[in-house]
Structure 1
């Protein structure tokens, strides 16, 4: 009896696996045929569409089937990335809004995540601001996933859409620091200033990202960054010092001394980096002291900073020969012999 059950179960499993394999093969063949039709459609429409977008043809090409319609949209997306100039970009946007706005609006309301995301990518690439209200409706809906929220907020930032400021302060889903950095990276100076004024309302990940973006863009925000140095949160102080080093914002020696003597090595590291960017001779004693730091990273940064300062090579020579701390002597010698390592 047990043998019959085992044999029956084996045949059942074999039949199930065979059916699944057959289904996947059929699906694969269908997808291959679909892709072949798409490629053929794109080749057929490529030149007529290009001539229309460049103004050589009055009438745009129009597809005869749904697949050719999809091929035309993909071509339009390709040309949006390749063709430069305000006139041709405006022509691409007008064409997309006239012939694909309704189709993309329906995709945004789809129950399938993939269709909604594809629609968002097309809207972003083709700069279809006419669909902003529909995108915002999707953002507020219950079906919007975390990935869609990040993409939508990025689109809002690219399109200079003012409500994005409120949305990043209180996002629908918790955002990562990387997501905030992407969103802030696409914001105009006008929007970024609005976010900066409401810095305290940002979640920690947003605060870290905003400080980083200020450093990356090298914006002269010295007063804003100096205010962050008074924060009780270590990560805020570290990010502010890093951003100040990126933009070369000077800091008074007394303040630098405070951060260079921090109990946290990350703060001492960024303070040493900032001191190297300031290139002021009065900072030599502060950095000389950090050559004996218990953290290798801080010692290396202090030596690098000394090498940039007027009189820094003399200080490194003195440390290499006279420093009481063996680690300070070793680090100074490394830099005098040609740099770190």
Structure 2
């Protein structure tokens, strides 16, 4: 019985060792092939570097650049990726897109259909870097796939936004309504005015995270032409959306009539007092100074801090803060006045 057990144990050990040996040999061969391929890629990079650089700087094409193998395409991809990070001129960037379209377009079209997630994601990054808008329809079709990962979907939609795809509005308002506010914002921030206007005109159709993202993008862009829209949202909506509209107005720094916003300085909600203080500071509305001084004594730190910053934006702001520091009996107000006197804006 013992002999049989030793026999089977020996067979099992030999089998495991055999499998490990085969794996080791495979890894050694694979590593050797990778090293060999890397050397070939570096050779192609050295060969094509000056040719590609000349084409990017001066335009035109070269017969010396005729990639036939996958390794040559990888070399061109790496070179163009390096150049994309340092090019500043619009003409050079346009030529880079043209060269990538000429030599890598079909390669990327195939890789978008790859079964490997890493290959599809890397391809999306390259398409974005090279601005290959000729693959816009391929990416649009990719968003329709059921087994697409969330990361791929968000990145695909960001690229469609970069290319100003005509169906992006429909995708975000009809098919993909469960994204986070941050994810929507990273998509919308890439839109030009014409495409972004769709989200303004049909604001009510969007989910709340999408609505918040729209308002945040306006806060970032700070464009005055959105003022009527923001004031309308502020007057019609309630809660967080109303607060975001108020925040966007404070970033734009302009309103038609300051009276409704001066009233918010007395709001029972500390969030509204805080953002209203920010807006009054941006407007430099003299009527609000006395209330801003009172808000330096507010029970909420965020309100006190924003009031101090707002006062600093007035021409005589530092003088006002010094008076508070010298005359106030509230230690919190004195601390905030001291902080903004030394911090400034």
TM range (shorter): 0.7 to 0.9
Any unmatched runs of 5+ in structure 2? Answer: none
Deviations 1:269-293 (A, max 9, x none): 1111111111121111221221221
Which residue of structure 1 lines up, in the alignment, with residue 240 of structure 2? 235
Task: Report the CA distance between 1:231 and its aligned residue.
Answer: 5.4
Which residue of structure 1 lines up, in the alignment, with residue 255 of structure 2? 250
Which residue of structure 2 lines up, in the alignment, with residue 181 of structure 1? 185
Paired residues of 2:297 and 2:330 also in contact (CA < 8 A): yes
Paired residues of 2:73 and 2:104 also in contact (CA < 8 A): no
Query: Which of 267, 271, 275 lines up with 1:270 in the alignment?
Result: 275
Query: Which of 54, 68, 83 lines up with 1:51 in the alignment?
Result: 54
Query: Secondary structure in 2 aligned to 1:82?
Result: coil
In the alignment, is residue 301 of structure 1 matched against residue 301 of structure 2? no
User: Distance in 1 between the 2:313 and 2:98 partners?
Assistant: 54
Which residue of structure 1 lines up, in the alignment, with residue 158 of structure 2? 154
Query: Which of 131, 141, 147 lines up with 1:143 in the alignment?
Result: 147
Task: Report the CA distance between 1:86 and its aligned residue.
Answer: 4.7
User: Distance in 2 between the 1:275 and 1:17 partners?
Assistant: 74
Which residue of structure 2 lines up, in the alignment, with residue 120 of structure 1? 124
Distance 1:12 1:200, change over 3 A: farther
Query: Which of 192, 196, 206 lines up with 2:196 in the alignment?
Result: 192
Query: Which of 22, 25, 41 lines up with 1:38 in the alignment?
Result: 41
Distance 1:284 1:32, change over 3 A: same
Query: Secondary structure in 1 aligned to 2:235?
Result: coil
User: Distance in 2 between the 1:98 and 1:335 partners?
Assistant: 57
Task: Report the CA distance between 1:37 and its aligned residue.
Answer: 2.7
What is the number of residues matched between the two proteins?
A: 337
Paired residues of 1:212 and 1:243 also in contact (CA < 8 A): yes
Which residue of structure 1 lines up, in the alignment, with residue 291 of structure 2? 286
Query: Which of 324, 327, 330 lines up with 2:332 in the alignment?
Result: 327
Which residue of structure 1 lines up, in the alignment, with residue 173 of structure 2? 169
Higher mean C-alpha deviation, range 209-218 or range 44-53 = 44-53
User: Distance in 2 between the 1:52 and 1:309 partners?
Assistant: 54
Paired residues of 1:49 and 1:60 also in contact (CA < 8 A): no
User: Distance in 1 between the 2:266 and 2:77 partners?
Assistant: 59
Which residue of structure 1 lines up, in the alignment, with residue 80 of structure 2? 76
Which residue of structure 2 lines up, in the alignment, with residue 209 of structure 1? 213
Paired residues of 1:275 and 1:283 also in contact (CA < 8 A): yes
Distance 1:174 1:28, change over 3 A: farther
Paired residues of 1:97 and 1:128 also in contact (CA < 8 A): yes
Which residue of structure 1 lines up, in the alignment, with residue 231 of structure 2? 226
User: Distance in 1 between the 2:189 and 2:20 partners?
Assistant: 50
In the alignment, is residue 131 of structure 1 matched against residue 132 of structure 2? no
Any unmatched runs of 5+ in structure 1? Answer: none
User: Distance in 2 between the 1:24 and 1:235 partners?
Assistant: 57
Task: Report the CA distance between 1:17 and its aligned residue.
Answer: 10
Paired residues of 2:51 and 2:62 also in contact (CA < 8 A): no
Task: Report the CA distance between 1:12 and its aligned residue.
Answer: 9.4
User: Distance in 1 between the 2:182 and 2:282 partners?
Assistant: 26
TM normalised by structure 1 equals 0.83
User: Distance in 2 between the 1:140 and 1:200 partners?
Assistant: 25
Deviations 1:203-228 (A, max 9, x none): 22222222111111111122212223
Distance 1:81 1:309, change over 3 A: closer
